[in-house]
Amino acid sequence: MHEWALAEAVISSLSEITRKKGLRKIKGAYILLGEMQNIDRKVFRFAVRELTKNKKPFDGFTLNIKNEKTTLKCRSCGNEWTFSFSSKMPEDYLEAIHFIPEVSHVYIKCPKCGSRDFEIVKGRGVWIKSVKGVR
C-alpha cells in the first residue's frame, strides 16, 4: 500500500533526525498530509504505529496528523483555487492523482480560464512539521 511506503519514509526521516540531533527518544511528531495525495489517515496511522512498535527511540511516541488543503495557482491567469478529493471527479482519475500528483494536469483545469498550466502551491506530499524529542 502507498500509505505503508509513506509511513516507512516518515519513520526513516524521524530516525535520521534522531541521529543528527543526538536524541535518545522521540516523544512525538506533527505530520502534514497533503490532500492531493489522498492518503488514508487510518491506514497511515496504523502503519506508523506498527513500524515503530518495539523500537526504542519511539517508545511512547505520539503522532499528530493534519491534512493540508490543496491550493492550485494558474500560470496563465493567476487564479488560485482549492482542489478537493470530494469533487465529482471519476474515481479512476482521483486514484491516478493519488499515486502520481503530476498527472493532475491531465484531469484538472483552471475554473476561471480553463488552462491546464498550473502549479501545486500546497497540499501535496507528506511533511514532518515538527518533532519533539529527549536528549
Per the CB < 8 A criterion, the answer to whether 24 and 135 are in contact is yes
Q: Kindly indicate the confidence band of residue 1, based on its pLDDT and cuts at 50, 70 and 90.
A: low
Report the percentage of the chain scoring pLDDT > 70.
Answer: 97
Does residue 43 have a pLDDT over 80? yes
| Contact indicator for 108, 72 with CB cutoff of 8 Å | yes
Interstrand relation of 118-122 and 80-83 (parallel, antiparallel or unpaired): unpaired
- Please give the pLDDT value at position 41: 92
Give the contacts of 116 (CB within 8 A, at least 6 positions apart): 105, 106, 108, 109, 110
Domains of the chain: 2-68+124-134 (3.30.2320.50), 70-122 (no CATH)
Burial class (CB in 10 A: 0-12, 13-18, 19+), 86: exposed
- For residue range 82-119, list pLDDT tens digits in order: 987 666 788 888 888 878 888 999 999 999 999 999 99
State the pLDDT at residue 14.
Answer: 96
